[in-house]
Structure 1
Amino acid sequence: MAKTGGTGKKADRKTSTESRKTETRTADGETQTTRIEPVRKAEGKVDAFRELSEDVARGALATPPMLLTGESRRHHVRATLREDHAARIEDREPDARKKFDILAGDLFKFFRGTALLFYRDLAGHDAGMPTVMALGDVHPTNFGVMPDRNGAPIFGVNDFDEAIYAPFTWDIKRGVTGFWIAAKSEGDLSRKKRHKIVRRFVEGYLDAIERYAERPTERNESIRYHNAPKVVRRLFDEAWTERSGWLHEDYLNENRTGFRPTDELQPVSTEIETFQAAIDQLAASEGFEHPPRAGALKVKDVCIRHGQGTASLGLPRYYVLIEGPTQDGSDDLIIEFKRARRSALAGLTPPSTFDAGDKADRIAHAQQVQLAHGDIFYGAVEIWGDSYMSRERAPFREDIDLGDLSNSTWKSYARVCGAALAQSHALSDDLGQLDYDIEPSIAAAASPRALFVADMQRFAEEAADRLISDHALFREDHELDAFTSIDMFYR
């Protein structure tokens, strides 16, 4: 892992314990100092939830947060979101407030941006189910078109920020809930139609798993334009853009020598040396194949990218411009570096011997496992003492526009996403840490199929109803500025 230098400085953190004092003037004009008891930040609950997960996994009696109601549930939601965003709140990141505003205004985005809240309700569950390299945040817009290792477009899972080894059912449960909520909030579809969409997602997954159990082709397959279903082929068509025009219209200054300053892009050319060191270390990492389209891997410019993402909104994110082979700005590459954090599933999954690593190392491992033909620029480096993940931005990186889906295309899209997830899980024993064939175990654990599908449909409906209630509690608290500070412990 690289530790890179540079001119960027990190603000000193406040100590976790502070003594406060106030000064008042007495009647004779003297100043009197009164010291208030020390105050410290409230402890994070990662260890407490790890213990809860272990208790639930071994069958001990425990009260999971999904059973909380009323004010108890409100305080759980509030504390969880404060804890999950503590660093961003303390650093007073402008995008942190923006994220809470976005979450308040959209139920589906609230679901996408609160994975920790979702998984704390699952702490320790499904301990007997087969473990896979799980994506961790499955929903309709975390599949899409992206570059493969050769820079050509493929379709598949495309967000590994929460990835971790976990029961395969956790990805299924997150996925069916995401499709259920999105089909309602983005498609305004009836409950009956949402049940059918969820079923298609699960069936697409199980059909692919059973196929891989009979014929292990998962490592050689990929969804490309020629073999994609119609709904995804349309996505390929919409995604395609010429690199030169994409760079000129969205990123480069008029001379094509660097980034153009906009509301979203803030050039920081002083950090070229820092990110050149990061690129050099990425290129020196095991398994990296220097693509000819990346020229000499020379960094031309760096910018801060503001306002991107949903769950990651408010985390530092940089775009790095790499000079292309022609050196005229028409074929440059853009590599994104985003500060990584702990997975929302950490400490919540049933105990296992599998370990994907921490922060950016974990994310890079997941991408290497789950996307057999994936982006060569996925990696992990350390910058200014923090863990950063990297990936290529491409002209054809594109997610589905859910508003364009009809009832029939919702079902078709759900099915292909289920199949794509199955492929990523099936690779857990090819490129991951599993030392046995995972597909037969998943197929057996999901039997009888009709019961498994019905269980997932019921789970989606119940989890969505709980989320609607949580969203209402969050919106009320947000109106009262509940998320402008973190929880503190007062002695």
Structure 2
Amino acid sequence: MSVGTVDGAAAARPAGRTMAHLTPEERTARGKAARNEVPRSSHGRWVPADHRPDPVALLEQQAATRVPELVPIRYGRMLVSPFTFYRGAALIMAADLAATARSGLNVQVCGDAHLSNFGVFASPERQLMFDINDFDETLPGPWEWDVKRLGASFEIAGRDRGFSEAQRREIVLAGAAEYRVRMRQAAEMRNLELWYTHVEVTQLFEQMKADLSRKHLAKAKATVAKARTRDSMQAFAKLTHDLDGERRITSDPPLVVPIEELLPERRQRDEVEAEIRGLIRSYRRTLETDRRHLLEEFELVHLARKVVGVGSVGTRAWILLLRGRDDQDPLFLQAKEAQESVLERFVGKSRYQNHGQRVVAGQRLMQAASDIFLGWQRVNGLDGQVRDFYVRQLRDWKGSADVDNMAPAVMTAYSRVCGSTLARAHARSGDRIAIAAYLGNGDVFDRAIADFSAAYADQNERDYQALRAAVDSGRVTARTGL
């Protein structure tokens, strides 16, 4: 494995773009014209295409570029429930969304905006913030696709929790309405005012206070308090042990496999460790100057492969233990493989040659604040394959909502928060005035998203059963309980 060179002046820079500076009135007219071309009610329709791809075949296509022994874990996690299946089915839904209505008003989209890809994390100023937290699929594309994926995720999660049809519809409507209202508010903001907008946890609790009982609000605050403990010191205590006076990442195969177990042959191991050190040296060129200096204060101690998420299982992900002044000054980084976005075959290739850079650029554009160690690199693997990675801290006050124990009122409040957050993220890159004009003041679009979400949840259940049948027939192998 050899590290690809990265020159800060020539790191797959996109070609220059010319921004059309329309007046607010012209942008409003653009949105209303799009509404006439593509009625808002049209977003409520979901009918499978005549030649809809086999959903299992799409998953198998993704498996072809992943670590073979980890793919069964992905299938096993997707089989837990229709909701966990949905979390891993971003490509399937992207293929479906390509045939649905779109206004033609593009933004930087998340590409996988389901409810579990939102959460809290620390800003560089050590404020606890709420935002989207997964950008593996990010790409410029139709804003409606993110809204539909988010709405359907709440419908599916509500079914998983046993909520009534009326409760689920209310939950989805709340998120769609909040998206619409917040986009209209963004349309009235000055450019810098919008750019500086963010949601701190204190603001989050204020937003949710009117919707939640004291009991539910106390639970939410406890979840946030727990997130503050999830940092490199906590990871250090949980994931490492002492071995002959040196800290080493603890083995927990197949989920966490230290480098010496993954590559028992010393020569290969030494090669990989040397290349990872090279990756760190080269990746730091993608950081701001002050952050490069900070990273140089740390030295690599150990590394391991770690299985993450549901949809990402099988992609190559390393956790890197670094040491600062001493063993009580650890830093855990995650180097995660970035493959082609699931959206690319439907909306066009990324302008970035490096998919790690694609992820980082999209994250920085959509998030109000990003990890100080967020960067990218390209490597040549021992198998001769070129792979792109992005790097970030493994844990930095990260926390997510406890979907499995949400009551209907809590999920409704959470849907509003996610809808609001998604609108702010989209408004940073897209024509917020045109999108707001397209959405309008009424609830036509909200109801369309609720209709679509219910219909697509039915489709998701059929696809879930297709995967189960593929496992039962022996077509694919699933490894459960991991």
Give the TM interval when normalised to the shorter protein: 0.7 to 0.9
Q: Tell me whether 1:207 sits opposite 2:203 in the alignment.
A: no
- Cα offset for 1:408? 1.1
Q: Which region of structure 1 is more displaced relative to structure 2, 443-452 or 121-130?
A: 121-130
Aligned residue in 2 for 1:262: 252
- Cα offset for 1:322? 2.2
Q: Which among 237, 249, 260 is matched to residue 249 of structure 1?
A: 237
Give the Cα separation in 1 of the matches to 2:159 and 2:353.
36
Q: Which among 112, 115, 125 is matched to residue 137 of structure 1?
A: 112
- Cα offset for 1:294? 4.5
Aligned residue in 1 for 2:339: 341
Give the Cα separation in 2 of the matches to 1:273 and 1:153.
36
Give the Cα separation in 1 of the matches to 2:92 and 2:111.
13
Q: Contact (CA 8 Å) 1:370, 1:424: kept in 2 or not?
A: yes
- Cα offset for 1:283? 1.7
Q: Deviations over 1:136-185 (max 9, x none)?
A: 10111100112323455321100000111111101001100011101211
- Cα offset for 1:211? 1.5
Give the Cα separation in 1 of the matches to 2:224 and 2:417.
14
CA pair 111-300 structure 1, distance change in 2 beyond 3 A:
same
Matches within 5 A, 1:42-57: none
Aligned residue in 2 for 1:464: 457
**Structure 2 residue identity aligned to 1:451:** V
- Cα offset for 1:282? 2.1
Aligned residue in 2 for 1:10: none
- Cα offset for 1:410? 0.8
Q: Deviations over 1:433-462 (max 9, x none)?
A: xxxxx1111111112531111111111011
**Structure 2 residue identity aligned to 1:235:** T
CA pair 182-321 structure 1, distance change in 2 beyond 3 A:
same
Q: Contact (CA 8 Å) 2:130, 2:200: kept in 1 or not?
A: yes
Q: Deviations over 1:97-137 (max 9, x none)?
A: 12112222311111111111111112254443310000010
Q: Tell me whether 1:162 sits opposite 2:137 in the alignment.
A: yes
Give the Cα separation in 1 of the matches to 2:105 and 2:371.
27
Q: If you compute each CA radius of gyration, which structure gives the higher value, 1 or 2?
A: 1
Q: Tell me whether 1:121 sits opposite 2:111 in the alignment.
A: no
Q: Tell me whether 1:83 sits opposite 2:61 in the alignment.
A: yes
Q: Which region of structure 1 is more displaced relative to structure 2, 358-367 or 277-286?
A: 277-286
Q: Structure 2: give runs of 5+ residues left out of the alignment.
A: 6-37, 39-44, 209-216, 261-269, 381-385
Aligned partner of residue 300 in structure 1, secondary structure: strand
Matches within 5 A, 1:42-441: 66-67=47-48, 76-88=54-66, 93-150=68-125, 152-185=127-160, 187-216=161-190, 217-229=193-205, 230=208, 233-241=221-229, 243=231, 245-254=233-242, 255=245, 257-263=247-253, 264-268=255-259, 270=270, 271-285=272-286, 287=288, 289-290=290-291, 294=295, 296-305=297-306, 307-324=307-324, 327-349=325-347, 355=351, 358-384=354-380, 385-428=386-429, 438-441=431-434
Q: Contact (CA 8 Å) 2:124, 2:372: kept in 1 or not?
A: yes
Q: Contact (CA 8 Å) 1:337, 1:389: kept in 2 or not?
A: yes
CA pair 213-3 structure 1, distance change in 2 beyond 3 A:
same
Q: Percent identity?
A: 22
Q: Which region of structure 1 is more displaced relative to structure 2, 283-292 or 310-319?
A: 283-292
**Structure 2 residue identity aligned to 1:317:** A
Q: Contact (CA 8 Å) 2:155, 2:457: kept in 1 or not?
A: yes
TM-score (norm 2): 0.78
Aligned residue in 1 for 2:23: none
Q: Which among 443, 455, 473 is matched to residue 480 of structure 1?
A: 473
Aligned length: 407
Q: Contact (CA 8 Å) 2:366, 2:429: kept in 1 or not?
A: yes
- Cα offset for 1:418? 0.9
Q: Contact (CA 8 Å) 2:46, 2:452: kept in 1 or not?
A: no
CA pair 152-281 structure 1, distance change in 2 beyond 3 A:
farther
Q: Contact (CA 8 Å) 2:187, 2:433: kept in 1 or not?
A: yes
Higher helix share: 2
Higher RCO (Cα < 8 Å, 6 or more apart): 2
Q: Contact (CA 8 Å) 1:272, 1:300: kept in 2 or not?
A: no
CA pair 265-475 structure 1, distance change in 2 beyond 3 A:
closer
Q: Deviations over 1:254-280 (max 9, x none)?
A: 246332333333222744322222222
**Structure 2 residue identity aligned to 1:439:** R
Give the Cα separation in 1 of the matches to 2:241 and 2:395.
18
Aligned-CA RMSD value: 2.8
- Cα offset for 1:323? 1.9
Give the Cα separation in 2 of the matches to 1:420 and 1:65.
25
Aligned partner of residue 195 in structure 2, secondary structure: coil
